[in-house]
Homo-oligomer: A and B are copies of this chain.
Amino acid sequence: MPSLTLLQKLRVDYRPKLPKVLQQLDALVATNAPDQVHSKVASEILSYFPILFNQPILSFSSQTAIKHQPKRVGVVLSGGQAAGGHNVIIGLHDALKKLHPKSCLFGFKNGPNGIVNNQLIELTSELLNAYRNQGGFDLIGSGRTKIESAEQFQAALNTVQALDLDGLVIIGGDDSNTNAALLAEYFLQKGCKTKVVGVPKTIDGDLKNEQIEISFGFDTASKIYSEIIGNLMRDTLSAQKSYYFIKLMGRAASHLNLECALQTHPNLALISEELAADQMTLQDVIEKIADLICKRALLGKEYGVILIPEGVIEFIPEFKQLIEALNELLAPGQLHAAEMDALTTLSEKVKYIHKKLEKSSADCFERIPAEIQTQLLLDRDPHGNVQVAKIETERLLIEMVKQELKKRKSSGKYVGKFSAQPHYCGYEGRSGMPSNFDAQYCYALGYVAALLIESGATGYMSCVQHLTKPVEEWTIVGIPLVSMMAMEQRRGKSKPVIRKALVDLKGSLFKAFKEQRDAWALEDAYRFTGPMQFFGPPELTEAITFTLAYEHA
């Protein structure tokens, strides 16, 4: 660990506020929550979770004179980074030590692989201190390994038994928490004492439901992106000569895009879920953008800002089909893959594959710019799949809008000079220092995870509620992981998975956006949120997202 910067040091000294309920930690015991009921779980799920099926939501009540025993707990970070991960671990550690000073916390290294391979370090106060309220996952690393095979499950069991673990905390997104539930069930079936508890992590904001108000990392990412978007708005408002096409991380769902739109008031923000609901084609989307540009040109405005969610192309049916067709054609070991490899120039490759596509996909392929054709053909993962996250949608849209405007210009429907800049709000948003909200939320999530293990609960997700209220008034519960599941098709098989939350087109948040966006299109109502502040008045440093405020008003 190199020397800390001044801000890092000041953040190390920052103490997250604790919800009032967590202030008498050692008196709390989990009990059935009489006032909270989760929705009914599909009966097909029973066969996967014979023991965990239909667990109740847990709340916590105060009891006197509980005798705590030392606990041995493991923790793992799974999947992409989100601001606050270190604070979950530190909250977990601090709570375990408060419950019993002889308790131990171990960190599995580099994701679930660390469980399978039994690679870990003990997490002591001394080690953890420098990571308090810091970004990243570098304390123990993370990884994307899924524990899927029978061998992997057995190896995980061997590890937790060898370490004599009372609990295992899995910090991850929907997939990782589905995995946590499978592990919990497996351990129960094998008579293993290790309790498995999940923590909801993802900047995408798609791991939420009736009980989980928001996943951690979303707040920080939306603040980092909003600053950058605001700066680019100020830039183009000053220079008045180009359009910024800004793509935002966020995988499938458009939550980050919607939040940042409400924060910054762009001229246009695409919401994938809405495009899908309206059955928009790629050409429709291009025309929508071109229409905006033409209208603004009539007002003398040849600049603007357009927000694009990372996952948008998967919501446009023809593009999705094209990707699927390419994945099939170019699967490794297939005839076409070999033929393609034999061709030397890119244009030969493009011609070859174009002929193999069905008409609608061929048309779509033909219309996209050469740069993106290249990405589709060359940037493929080891399974031969197009790497959707790597497709530069912002550049794709710019090129296609350029073509559309050229067409309109030649028919006299557009008089202007279109210039555009792509920008990607990406990895810098997931690894920044956590906002005060995320720092406090994560610290509390760690506490609740410790309490769940202490109470002997397994197959639960750590959950903090009433997040729109002051921290002191936050409440805590344990949510059965199975209660969040539905059966979904994954690689041709029906499987129980934790549902991803997409943008609710009928919700108050989307409604608020819809009511304002027409004004934003032509006026320049840009909002500049500036860099996230850790010091200053509480209205500034404790501000919550619009997403949370509207969804839990």
Q: Which residue numbers of A lie inside 8 Å of B, CB to CB?
A: 2-3, 5-8, 10-11, 80-81, 110, 134-138, 141-142, 224, 227-228, 231-232, 234-235, 237-240, 244, 265, 345-347, 370-371, 374, 421, 423, 426-433, 523-537, 539-540, 543
Contact = CB atoms under 8 A, between A and B. Distances in A.
Contact of A2 (B136, B427, B524): B524
A530 B433 contact: yes
Contacts of A2: 265, 523-527
Tell me the interface secondary structure of chain A in the complex.
loop
Given A134-B234, A533-B535, 15 more contacts: A2-B527, A10-B536, A81-B238, A134-B528, A136-B234, A138-B238, A141-B239, A224-B531, A231-B428, A235-B428, A347-B347, A423-B428, A535-B535, A535-B537, A536-B536
Nearest to A346: B370
Nearest to A81: B238
A533 B530 contact: no
A122 B81 CA distance: 50
24 contacts: A2-B526, A5-B527, A5-B529, A6-B539, A8-B528, A10-B537, A80-B239, A135-B231, A135-B234, A135-B528, A138-B237, A142-B238, A224-B531, A232-B428, A235-B428, A235-B431, A346-B347, A346-B370, A421-B427, A423-B426, A423-B427, A531-B533, A533-B533, A535-B540
A141 B238 contact: yes
Contact of A427 (B3, B8, B235): B235
Contact of A138 (B231, B234, B374, B535): B234
A14 to B, nearest CB: 11
Contacts of A134: 234, 528
Contacts of A345: 347
A537 B6 CA distance: 10
Given A235-B431, A240-B141, A431-B231, A6 B543 contact: yes
B237 A136 contact: yes
B530 A11 contact: yes
A83 to B, nearest CB: 9
A233 to B, nearest CB: 8
A3 B265 CA distance: 11
Nearest to A532: B531
Nearest to A137: B238
